[in-house]
């Protein structure tokens, strides 16, 4: 489903060149629950943005469902985001002046879904995250955990094949975070592909597989986040010849 081949993202500030991602290759199969960890600045968000078609790589090829997205226009990328991907952010990113119902229904508006069908689907998504009785509330009249649930409902409402979450529990206390994780596990059990970014090893352990990033390079790819600190690892990438770790990456 997701296939990154030698992807690099380079930022230039003045003369300095920052490789936020440096020849990263990896795969995520349909139905997987993958976590991405790594220290701050290691390129986790950058990677998620590329996977989510919010940004494009400077080098390498990204295949989404077997299709290279390289030559898509900005508008086509917007359509892919709308149809295939559900985003969840650390800071929830709900629009403050809209009600939860309107926030959750927004992706469907951009998809051109009729108001009546929209109401139905928003109702179902809100039900799924346990917020069916908060439809008319605005984001700042509910708790952080509830806001993140609403954001998840917004990601689910379009019934995307894949959910990308950038530190979804980062702004929540551990108990609320736990309940959000439970929601993710249920979604994964129901067949959704989930890629989750986290700092928290405890959270990472709850996922099927952990990819650890370090200075824009993949440091390890293994089950349940228990990764070797040094040395090459046979990466479990679900098959394919190009995957693996560039072990000669520790140049920084």
Ligand X SMILES: Nc1ncnc2c1ncn2[C@@H]1O[C@H](COP(=O)(O)OP(=O)(O)OP(=O)(O)O)[C@@H](O)[C@H]1O
Tell me which stretch binds another protein (CB under 8 A): 10-18, 82-90, 183-191, 214-222: 82-90
Put residue 59 in one of left, alpha, beta given phi > 0 → left and psi -120 to 50 → alpha: beta
**Burial readout 137-152 (b: 16 or more C-beta within 10 A, e: otherwise):** bbbeebeebbbbbbbb
CB of 201 to another protein, least distance (A): 26
Q: Verify binding: residue 97, another protein, rule CB under 8 A.
A: yes
What CA–CA distance (Å, rounded) separates 242 from 252? 23
Q: Verify binding: residue 62, another protein, rule CB under 8 A.
A: no
Q: Please give the size of the binding site for Mg ion, defined by CB under 5 A.
A: 1
At 37 the three-state DSSP class reads strand
Tell me which stretch binds ligand X (CB under 6 A): 42-50, 75-83, 204-212, 228-236: 42-50
Q: What strands, in cross-sheet order, belong to the sheet with 67-68? A: 16-28, 2-13, 59-64, 67-68
Q: Verify binding: residue 169, ligand X, rule CB under 6 A.
A: no
The phi, psi pair for 96, rounded to 5°, reads: -65, -30
Binding positions for Mg ion, 36-65, rule CB under 5 A: 45
Task: Give me the 6-35 binding string for ligand X, x by CB under 6 A, dash otherwise.
Answer: -----x-x----x-x---------------
At 168 the three-state DSSP class reads coil
Binding positions for another protein, 134-193, rule CB under 8 A: 154, 158
Q: Which of 110, 101, 102 is nearest to 80 (CA)?
A: 110
Q: Verify binding: residue 116, ligand X, rule CB under 6 A.
A: no
Cβ neighbour number for residue 61 with a 10 Å cutoff: 15
Residues that bind ligand X in the complex, under the rule CB under 6 A: 11, 13, 18, 20, 38, 40-46
Residues that bind another protein (CB under 8 A): 49, 52, 54-55, 74-75, 78-79, 81-83, 87, 89, 93-95, 97-98, 106-107, 109-112, 154, 158
């Amino acid at each position: 489903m997701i296939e990154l081949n030698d992807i690099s993202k380079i930022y230039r500030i003045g003369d300095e060149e920052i490789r936020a991602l440096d020849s990263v290759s990896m795969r995520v199969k349909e139905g997987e629950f993958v976590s991405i960890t790594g220290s701050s600045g290691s390129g986790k968000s950058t990677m998620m943005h590329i996977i989510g078609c919010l940004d494009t790589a400077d080098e390498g090829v990204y295949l989404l469902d077997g299709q290279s997205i390289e030559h898509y226009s900005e508008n086509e990328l917007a359509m892919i985001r709308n149809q295939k991907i559900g985003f969840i952010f650390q800071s929830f990113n709900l629009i403050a002046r809209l009600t939860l119902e309107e926030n959750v229904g927004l992706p469907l508006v951009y998809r051109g879904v009729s108001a009546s069908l929209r109401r139905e689907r928003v109702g179902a998504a809100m039900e799924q995250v346990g917020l069916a009785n908060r439809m008319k509330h605005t984001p700042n009249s509910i708790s952080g955990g509830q806001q993140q649930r609403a954001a998840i409902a917004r990601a689910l409402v379009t019934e995307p094949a894949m959910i990308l979450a950038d530190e979804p529990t980062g702004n929540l206390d551990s108990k609320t975070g736990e309940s959000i994780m439970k929601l993710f596990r249920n979604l994964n059990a129901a067949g959704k592909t989930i890629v989750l970014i986290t700092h928290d090893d405890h959270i990472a352990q709850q996922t099927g597989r952990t990819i650890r990033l370090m200075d824009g390079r993949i440091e390890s790819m293994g089950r349940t986040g228990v990764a070797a600190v040094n040395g090459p690892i046979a990466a479990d990438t679900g098959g394919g010849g190009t995957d693996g770790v560039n072990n000669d990456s520790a140049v920084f």
